[in-house]
Structure 1
Amino acid sequence: MSNDVEHAKRALRAELRERRGLLSDAQRESAATAIGERLDALVDELDARSISCFLSTLTEPGTREFVTRAVRRGIRVLLPITRADGLLDWAVANDDDETTEGLHGLPEPTGEVLGPIAVNDVDLMIVPAAAVDRSGMRMGWGRGYFDKTIGSMEKCPPVYAVIYDSEILDSLPREVHDQPVNGVVTPSRTLILSPSRR
């Protein structure tokens, strides 16, 4: 059974990765602007003073301008740093664009490294995803970093995944360790999916 789920996830991830790869630079820029505005509004709505976010890669929905703006607004932004043991360390973002290449070739911050529990104090978590289904179940890219982080938090704040509109699906293959999110932010909307998780 588990192998069937893994196979289904792998196939779906490949399809989603290919779809993202077909977007033009103009489409990516337009999506990043719209997502940034929605994230700004979400931070204001939740009165979040401390958040965690991620530095988007070229194919992910853009978060970098949002992060820079949040820092300049005086919001404390924690950015993830991958570890070999499958956990995430964190660093406080500043408003320059300096990054380094992380463990899996992902962009990571260069600031002082804080341990995994640093994220326990945030008011809002903004996470990457490959897709999210209508029940709030999130499918990541297969390494499990955010599932482990969310699953280990004693008091988890609202968690929102940033995806493209076409990546909200009716249902997703799921495994025991998969963690749901409260909602999604896409270029066209902010959608609450599982408010009971708060």
Structure 2
Amino acid sequence: MHDDIATAKRALRAELRERRQLLSQTARDAAATGIREQLDTLVDSLGVRSMSCFLSIPTEPGTREFVDAAVRRGIRVLLPVTRTDGLLDWSVAHPDFDIAEGMFGLPEPVGELLGPIAVNDVDVLVIPAAAVDRNGMRLGWGRGFFDKTLGSMEGCPPVYAVIYDSELLDEVPSDLHDQPVTGVVTPTQTLILAPARP
């Protein structure tokens, strides 16, 4: 990666992280409600029976209400579990599943682990992001787990990144390994930004 791109990514991530930390609890609660409504509508419109999602941390737009509701509706939800080799294992969410702290202090489900290819048969992937630009380029948090996952998938289904409204930008710095997303889900809207990949 070029040094100037790496520097630009670090600076933008730091700014976005600070903005997220300054949000009030009221704003976070409202965002979680909005994300649940947007994701409910998305999975209904796509006829989703199986999907991936993630367990949000307190500063992220909340996904936990949605995951709980989706599981209770009978949707098979795969949640990521980090591995030391930079890939992701997956675990199927169940009602009242246990959560433990995984690598990097991220919340991860406790349960049977499925390998990295388990995600190949989902109808849609819902992933975290720091920001996304209007062409669908995603800026992650720098660890590369989701870029590796998306880059390794054949016939990748639609991929939606969950962000706050202010994190949809005109452009984000990117390099060759960075993977685009189909669209974004924010607390107020779901937008398609790029065609689904073959």
TM-score scaled by structure 2?
Answer: 0.98
Unaligned runs of 5+ in 1: none
Deviates most, 74-83 or 90-99: 90-99
Indicate the residue corresponding to 2:29 in structure 1: 29
Answering whether residue 120 of structure 2 is matched by residue 105 of structure 1, we say no
Q: Deviations over 1:156-197 (max 9, x none)?
A: 000000000000000011110000000000011100000242
Query: Which residue number in structure 1 is paired with residue 93 of structure 2?
Result: 93
TM-score, normalised to structure 1's length?
Answer: 0.98
**Aligned counterpart, 2:170:** 170
Deviation, 1:47, is: 0.3
Matched AA of 1:17: R
- d(CA) in 2 for partners of 1:2, 1:23: 32
Which amino acid in the other structure matches residue 38 of structure 1? Answer: Q
List runs of 5+ in structure 2 lacking aligned partners: none
Counterpart residue identity of residue 105, structure 2:
G
Which SS does the other structure have where 2:23 is aligned? coil
Aligned to 1:158: 158
Q: Which residue of 1 aligns with 2:10?
A: 10
Preserved contact between residue 32 and residue 62 of structure 2 (Cα < 8 Å): yes
Q: Do the aligned partners of residues 196 and 80 (structure 1) sit closer, same or farther apart at CA in structure 2, a change above 3 Å counting? A: closer
Distance 1:173 1:52 in 2: 26
State the SS of the aligned residue for 2:14.
helix
CA RMSD in angstroms, aligned pairs only: 0.9
> How many aligned positions are there?
198
Query: 2:7 and 2:115 mapped to 1: Cα distance?
Result: 33
The residue type paired with residue 68 of structure 2 is: T
Per the alignment, residue 119 of structure 1 pairs with 119
Q: Which amino acid aligns with 2:179?
A: Q
Amino acid at match of 1:172: V
Contact kept? 2:158, 2:196, Cα under 8 Å:
no
Q: For 2:104 and 2:58, locate their aligned partners in 1 and report how far apart those are by CA, in whole Å.
A: 14
Shift of 1:97: 4.9
Q: Does 1:50 align with 2:72?
A: no
The secondary structure found in structure 1 opposite 2:104 is coil
